[in-house]
Amino acid sequence: MAHTLLDHTHDPARRSWVASANGHADFPLQNLPIGVVTPPGETVPRGGVAIGDYVLDLAAAQRAGLFHGDAASAAELAAQPRLNAFLAAGPEARQSLRLALHALFVEGAPARAAVEPLLHPARDCRLHLPADIGDYTDFYAGIHHAMNVGKQFRPDQPLLPNYKYVPIGYHGRSSSIRPSGTPVRRPQGQRKGPNDAEPSFGPSRRLDYELELGIWIGPGNELGTPIPIGEAGRHVAGFCLLNDWSARDLQAWEYQPLGPFLAKNFATSISPWIVLPEALAPFRVPQPARPEGDPAPLPYLLDTDDQETGALDIELEVLLMTPCLAAAGLAPHRLSIGSARHLYWTVAQLVAHHASNGCNLRPGDLLGTGTISAPTPDGFGSLLEISQGGKTPVTLATGNTRTFLEDGDEVIIRARASRDGAASIGFGEVRGVVLPA
């Protein structure tokens, strides 16, 4: 993935005149994610920027003449009710907008008086999907997840022979992707337990979540023209959190021979802010060395720069809020905490592989990494793994237990990137409550 050099926008010593931004868990001056919002009192969605506890109305800022030159062109694209054209514009446009936003929000900015009236409290804004998502592909790059799940489905052969060669994935359904906060209706479907003589149709009994990162595609490629691994970074326009809701009983019965279908496509939830690759530059780390004996990636998936900087040091946390915890006035239960460093493939490898056959990726397409699990149970990214297929329930502070999700349960995913010498940034959150079938 192309390097993004560090510059003054990453300087942890810089503060913002937006007081809540300084030390903000998610949206300090160094982050500046872009999304689509409807501010209070307005009816038309438009681009926005998260800063501390506030959102800047980008359309109003653009109309007010706060951007100039390349930044004005980029802001015009980012002010639209859908950000596809901004994503298509590529890294140079993003960077010019980022530099301009930094200059508007940094402490001592002369523009403060003009910018301040265009800020809205984030809690009063409605957040939307940031782009029209043409296609959605979900990968399976979390090797510990693949092992844990494989053990349950195929004890004799948890990882299939192709896993360490091919970034495995499937084409999902973009129509059912929703922003954080949208409730999820428990799906009905066919399920056939190991002791059932015949399948039956009804509400899923094994509803689960999957902890994933989402990848927003930028410029994309023409049909028939692959994206070389060394150029893949140019086509990554940003990141979000993704919950790939999964009905495990439907999945177990339907997945062979063509993979996930109705067990997955009833709902996918994403965090609404697009965290730009430029904001994540300080948190790029070397891709962990493959274990002894694993094959090297084939040449079309191997790039020295990508191996040196292609992994992301992002800490991911999953929380569960239940009606019983809420009734008792208790905090959500932490189901897991882990790191995106546990992905077997880099983002650039996923992009290059997807386009390697000539398949065209388009601006606003969304990729999921696949469930991210740590090697240890405290970092498993799904209830299927945490409960070992329903055999070991999770016990909540109220004494209630869970193997899979019950109606009224809410899954909350958060993420944070931090390291010494950098300002920590976050993604906000993706949450969704389960409604009865």
Site for Mn ion contains 365 (CB under 5 A): no
Is 26 or 244 the residue whose CB approaches Mn ion more closely?
Answer: 244
Q: Yes or no: say if 400 and 382 are a contact pair by the CB < 8 Å rule.
A: no
Stretch that binds Mn ion, among 43-51, 165-173, 209-217, 265-273 (CB under 5 A): 209-217
- Closest by CA position to 339, among listed 378, 308, 384, 303: 378
The least CB distance from residue 147 to Mn ion, in Å, is 15
The least CB distance from residue 368 to Mn ion, in Å, is 6
The least CB distance from residue 141 to Mn ion, in Å, is 10
Residues ≥6 apart with Cβ < 8 Å to 326: none
Binding mask 151-190 for Mn ion (x = CB under 5 A): ----------------------------------------
Stretch that binds Mn ion, among 118-126, 170-178, 208-216, 415-423 (CB under 5 A): 208-216
Binding mask 119-148 for Mn ion (x = CB under 5 A): -------------------x----------
Q: Is 171 a catalytic residue?
A: no
Q: How many residues does the chain have?
A: 437
Site for Mn ion contains 208 (CB under 5 A): no
Q: Yes or no: say if 187 and 203 are a contact pair by the CB < 8 Å rule.
A: yes
Residues ≥6 apart with Cβ < 8 Å to 376: none
Q: Yes or no: say if 37 and 128 are a contact pair by the CB < 8 Å rule.
A: yes
Site for Mn ion contains 385 (CB under 5 A): no
Q: What angle do CA 36, 315, 232 make, to 5 degrees?
A: 65
Select the residue whose beta carbon is closest to Mn ion and give its number. Answer: 244
Question: What residues from 230 to 269 belong to the interface with Mn ion (CB under 5 A)?
Answer: 244
**Total binding residues toward Mn ion, as defined by CB under 5 A:** 3
Kindly name the residue from 145, 342, 353, 354 that is annotated as catalytic: 145
Positive or negative, the CA dihedral 164, 259, 141, 238 is positive
Which residue is listed with tokens 């339907």?
Answer: 254
Q: How far apart are CA 86 and CA 73, in angstroms?
A: 10
Is 35 or 214 the residue whose CB approaches Mn ion more closely?
Answer: 214
Among 57, 135, 210, 231, binds Mn ion (CB under 5 A): 210
Sheet containing strand 268-270, strands side by side:
169-171, 136-139, 366-368, 211-217, 236-243, 268-270, 177-179
Q: Yes or no: say if 362 and 174 are a contact pair by the CB < 8 Å rule.
A: no
Is 84 or 246 the residue whose CB approaches Mn ion more closely?
Answer: 246
Which are the catalytic amino acids? 145
Tell me which residues touch Mn ion (CB under 5 A): 138, 210, 244
